[in-house]
């Protein structure tokens, strides 16, 4: 009988990604553009693919629900988008959700199944 994997926290998953060299984050700026932090690269949804999605639920507070999306761009670079989900998104307005919905989901990569 297989034992299920223990649920990891957001910080544990981020550390495992860091160990694989993935430290960059894509953010939505005040102009509603999705940019690679500290590099200024602006992405369109078609420039990205979601290769893994992680969801974390707060123990007692639904406001602690967070999603981490692991993405790969057209050049093979990997980065993440982190967002609270549910009623308390990190971003106001519909642009963030609309952008995410337009990103193609690739097959979930097993190498990132922590």
d(CA 114, CA 93): 32
The pLDDT profile of the chain, 114 residues, written as one tens digit per residue, is 566 677 888 999 999 999 999 999 999 998 999 999 988 899 999 999 999 999 988 766 666 688 999 999 999 999 999 988 766 667 777 898 899 999 999 988 888 988
Q: Which of 114, 24, 12 lies closest to 71, judged by CA?
A: 24
Give the pLDDT of residue 78: 96
Q: Give the model's pLDDT for residue 109.
A: 82
């Amino acid at each position: 009988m297989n034992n299920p994997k223990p649920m990891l926290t957001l910080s544990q998953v981020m550390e495992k990604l860091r160990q694989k060299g993935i430290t960059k984050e894509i953010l939505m700026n005040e102009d509603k553009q999705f940019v690679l932090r500290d590099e200024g690269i602006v992405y369109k949804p078609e420039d990205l693919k979601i290769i893994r999605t992680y969801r974390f639920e707060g123990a007692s507070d639904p406001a602690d629900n967070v999603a981490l999306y692991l993405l790969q761009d057209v050049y093979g670079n990997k980065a993440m988008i982190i967002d609270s989900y549910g009623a308390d998104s990190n971003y106001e307005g519909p642009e963030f959700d609309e952008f995410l919905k337009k990103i193609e989901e690739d097959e979930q990569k097993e190498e990132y199944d922590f």
